[in-house]
Amino acid sequence: MIHQTTVKKEFRLTGLGLHTGRTVTVVVKPAPPDFGIVFRRTDCTNIITQPARAASIGETARGTTLGSGRHTIATIEHLMSALHGAQIDNAIIELDGGEIPILDGSSRPWMLQLTRVGSQELAAERKVYTISEPLHFEVKNTGSIYDVEPCDHFAVDCKIDFPNSVIGCQEATLENMTDYAAGIAPCRTFVFLHEIEPLLKLNLIKGGSLDNALVFVNKELSPRQLKRLEKTFNKDASHFKVHDGVLNTTDPFFSNEPARHKLLDFIGDIRLVGTTFNARFRIFKPGHKANVAFANYITNYTTNNPQ
């Protein structure tokens, strides 16, 4: 029998929300068996509690958001991915704001803390759902495709396809969760330069910087663009150099880092089903909206086909 787990002791991390730009402190605490992953906003008059389940997801533009209305909990995917990667079944996530900090744009800071505090087994069996037949799911308006095949462990093959030369078509694979910490967790979120100003106008990415996202550029920067970048990132133009289509001062960790980051996001979003899987997921052009739609589909499938 594989036992359920939780964190051995609590830990906290503080940082800026990617979209709000506000400082938020997150405390990850141990939880009892069959509790699942539950988020709590402690900054509200009445503490808001939200189980991390697909049916509770509201907004999916540029992140996965629990709830709707005034008391949402935004950008949960990187923390959820780290919890899944560390195979933590139960945890209480308390935060004093409405968005999980972006930190360095990956799951690595969360994974480092989860590794540092360690996990403890609980007196209950882990819920693992074994897929016994091939499944196929498509999201027509995004072009996203999800195929599931029987497998004796959890594995993911991810393929992305962007209509430009700086990213283009890339693939990434997670064959076993033991590879997650080194091969997936460090991979940062990414954005195209031409998307930044529209996102700012939508009141998003206020906490974004060249330190927590890969910024891709598919053409030479003009003097006018450099001036806008100086204002956007509050940096002198000398900081902005494009190398192999990447604006950042640091190179990507992997040649296929965008595909690996999309895989990272999927690992967080699929954990919204509330169970772990023995299955191989083959995903094409994933995104948060499509991931959540797929997570709801799989939730319904497991409910209608109990084991």
* Confidence band, pLDDT 50/70/90 cuts, at residue 249: low
pLDDT tens across 94-105, in order?
999 999 999 999
Supply the mean pLDDT for the chain. Answer: 90
pLDDT tens across 251-269, in order?
789 999 999 999 999 999 9
pLDDT tens across 109-162, in order?
999 999 999 999 999 999 999 999 999 999 999 999 999 999 999 999 999 999
- Assign 183 to helix, strand or coil: helix
Residue with tokens 């640091």: 250
- Answer for the pair 251, 243: CB distance below 8 angstroms, yes or no: yes
* Confidence band, pLDDT 50/70/90 cuts, at residue 237: low
Report which of 92, 80, 111 is spatially closest to residue 183, judged by C-alpha positions.
111
* Confidence band, pLDDT 50/70/90 cuts, at residue 203: low
* Confidence band, pLDDT 50/70/90 cuts, at residue 55: very high
Task: State the Cα–Cα distance between residues 89 and 164, nearest whole angstrom.
Answer: 39
Task: State the Cα–Cα distance between residues 174 and 267, nearest whole angstrom.
Answer: 10
Report residue 228 as tokens: 């806008």
- Please give the model's pTM, rounded to 2 decimal places: 0.92
* pLDDT value of residue 74: 94
19, 78, 261, 288: which is the annotated catalytic residue?
Answer: 288
* pLDDT value of residue 235: 67
* Side chain identity at residue 23, one-letter code: T
180-212 CB burial, b ≥16 within 10 A, e <16 = bbebbbbbbbbbbbeebeebeeeebbebbbbeb
* Confidence band, pLDDT 50/70/90 cuts, at residue 201: low
* pLDDT value of residue 232: 66
Report which of 190, 237, 227 is spatially closest to residue 210, judged by C-alpha positions.
190
Using CA atoms, how far residue 177 sits from 21, 97, 152, in Å, is 32, 31, 13
**Domains in the chain: ranges and CATH:** 3-127 (3.30.230.20)
Per cent of the chain over pLDDT 90 is 72
Alpha helices in the chain (DSSP H): 77-85, 108-117, 180-183, 193-201, 223-233, 257-270, 288-304
Q: What are the DSSP calls for 288-299, one per residue?
A: HHHHHHHHHHHH
Catalytic residue flag (residue 288): yes
Task: State the Cα–Cα distance between residues 126 and 184, nearest whole angstrom.
Answer: 23
